Amino acid sequence: METRSSPKLRRLRCSVQKYDWGRRGAESRVAKLFALNSGAEADPDRPYAEFWMGTHGSGPSFLLPAGCGNGGHKVSPDVTLKAWISSNPDVLGDKVVDEWGCDLPFLFKELKQVLCDVPEIAELVGSTDVEKFIKLGEQEVEKAKCLLQSIFTKLMSASADIVALAVSQIKSRLELEGQVRPLTDKEQLVLRLEKQYPADVGVISAFFLNYVRLNPGEALYLGANEPHAYVSGECIECMATSDNVVRAGLTPKTKDIQTLCSMLTYKQGFPDILKGVPLKTYITRYIPPFDEFEVDRCVLPKGSSAVFSAVLGPSIFLVTDGEGTINVGSVKQDVVAEGYVLFVPANVEIHVTSVTELHVYRAGVNDRFLKSRELENGKKSQI
């Protein structure tokens, strides 16, 4: 497929993460997007977990060389997006450079009843803290956090043999109870996890977490130091660029229990489900309370058009379904299709037209932050 690129846009070849929890090649949407994006064949026997778009060192994106959709602008075959941005910082916009330097700040990768209903937890961690926690009043938030940290630390620090026994007891009890009553969604989840990760402490940890099912078009955000795990399905994830990952369970990778238990927030409650804010026809914006990023979702019916207004910071565009064209102003159009990833500099308006139904996601620096910085700089210049 021949494409003609605007000099403003840079098509990217991105990286894939083959974590053990990913879906196998033939079943993985991540593998399909990676194959379409890179031209490499997916290994049907390997797990494909995450398709990374950004400047993270563990999964960098590369600019495609001339003749691959960069409008004739010569680019060496192995130039990373991060290196190219470092040489062209103007593409980020002044506000982003001032705050984060020459890099992208984003990477486009109730409990009391539970403790009563799961006796194996009290047996494992000891009944004293559990009984204190159950007796707490609703206003004793800080005491609850301290006790919850103590309970969770004892759980995570338990020996492998003790954990394996507790998991086995939970499994046996739930299988028996499932014959006389419907199991809850979380109880069914625990049995599913036990099949995948037998004797893993993460199976028990699931009782401490919310079980959230998202419908298409819904999103949620997680703050720093809040544990999470993807159970099934595929999604678009955006996060602040960071290497600060501490694992708890449900993985063969190294776990840092002491750091994990000391860093968690131990907040209780159910996360907010974001429906998104209608930005304009066909475009919905998801705005977390973080400066580093926001995400736009665009679903274009066949033969329709949409405009992504120019913003003060850089963006990455991902096409997950369909085929269409993208152009900048009067510049000739780029043909785009499933698996295409584009870097868009600051202050560039993008026009998108669909040939078939087209699904496009945009990740960029939070517009609220950019506008607040612009306002601050405007006030300073008036003084």
Q: Which residues are catalytic?
A: 247
Go through 233-246 and write b for each residue having 16 or more CB atoms within 10 A of its CB, e for each that does not.
eeebebbbbeeeeb
Helix (H) or strand (E) run with residue 298 in it: strand 294-300
Nearest to 260 by CA among 285, 225, 308: 225
Q: Read out DSSP for 314-356?
A: -EEEEEEE-EEEEE-TTSPPEEEETT-EEEE-TT--EEEEESS
Q: Which long-range contacts (CB under 8 A, 24 or more apart) does 72-81 make?
A: 73/7, 75/10, 80/55, 81/10, 81/12, 81/54, 81/55, 81/343
Alpha helix positions (H), the chain? 29-38, 81-87, 94-100, 111-117, 119-125, 127-135, 141-157, 160-177, 185-196, 201-205, 257-263, 367-382
SS3 breakdown of the chain: % helix, strand, coil, rounded to 5?
Answer: 35, 20, 45
Instruction: Report how far residue 66's alpha carbon sits from residue 11's, in angstroms, rounded to the nearest whole number.
Output: 10
